[in-house]
Chains A and B, each alone.
Chain A
Amino acid sequence: DPKIIQKPKYLVAVTGSEKILICEQYLGHNAMYWYRQSAKKPLEFMFSYSYQKLMDNQTASSRFQPQSSKKNHLDLQITALKPDDSATYFCASSPDSGNTLYFGEGSRLIVV
C-alpha cells in the first residue's frame, strides 16, 4: 500500500483556473515537502514544512500556497494557472529533516 497518497494522479486545468493537489502521508514523519518535475527543470524544490510550519520556500510565485490542515497533510493550492505550471508535482516526507525523502507517486498537471 502506498504510504504517501497524492490526489489526483492526473489533472487537466484551464489557464487562469485554480486547483488543489492533495498529499497525505502515513509514515509518521514530521517533515513534508513539495517538489516539481518538468522537462525544463528536472526536480525542483518548492516548499518544506516541519510540524505543520513552513520551513523553506524556494518558489518565487505567491500563486503556489501550501496548506497543512493536519500533521500528515500538505496540500498545494495553485491559483491563476499558467501553461508553464504544467509539470508533475511530487509530495515527499522525511524522518530526518530532509536528508532522506520518501516520495509519493506524483500529480501530473497539464494546463491548457
Chain B
Amino acid sequence: GEQVEQRPPHLSVREGDSAIIICTYTDSATAYFSWYKQEAGAGLQLLMSVLSNVDRKEEQGLTVLLNKKDKRLSLNLTAAHPGDSAVYFCAVTYQGGRALIFGTGTTVSVSP
C-alpha cells in the first residue's frame, strides 16, 4: 500500500523565517495531496490541497510544491509567526481511494 514519509519530525524557526516540510510517497497513482494543521488539543484543519496536475499553489503565506517525478510534496511557510506553531501533516490519496493516508507529522515551533 501507499507509504508516506514526512520530514523533519521537528522544526524550530524564528519569527519571519521560512519553514519547509517535505513528504515523499510511493504510489505513482496518487492523485490528491493535502496539508493539515493540528494545534494543541484540537483536531486537524485543512490548510491547502492540490490535484496531481498542479505543480505549485500559493495561498496566504503558504506554498505547496508537487514534484511528481520525485514523488515529493512540500509545504513552505513563508514569514512564519508564532501562530503557525502546530503539528503539520501531509496527506495523500489515489484515484478511487477511500481514505487519506497521512504522513507522520512535523512539529513546528516559531519563536518571537
Residues of A within 8 A of B (CB): 4, 33, 35, 42-43, 45, 48, 55-56, 58, 90, 92, 97-106
Contact = CB atoms under 8 A, between A and B. Distances in A.
Interface residues of B toward A: which range? 20 to 34
Contact of A45 (B43, B49, B100, B103): B100
B25 interface: no
Would you call the interface of chain B mostly helix, strand, loop, or mixed?
strand
A99 B101 CA distance: 10
Contact of A55 (B32, B34, B98): B98
Contacts of A4: 43
A98 B100 contact: yes
B42 A101 contact: no
Interface of B: 32, 34, 36, 41-46, 49, 89, 91, 93, 97-105
Given A55-B98, A99-B100, 6 more contacts: A4-B43, A43-B102, A56-B98, A99-B32, A100-B49, A105-B42
B57 to A, nearest CB: 14
A20 to B, nearest CB: 19
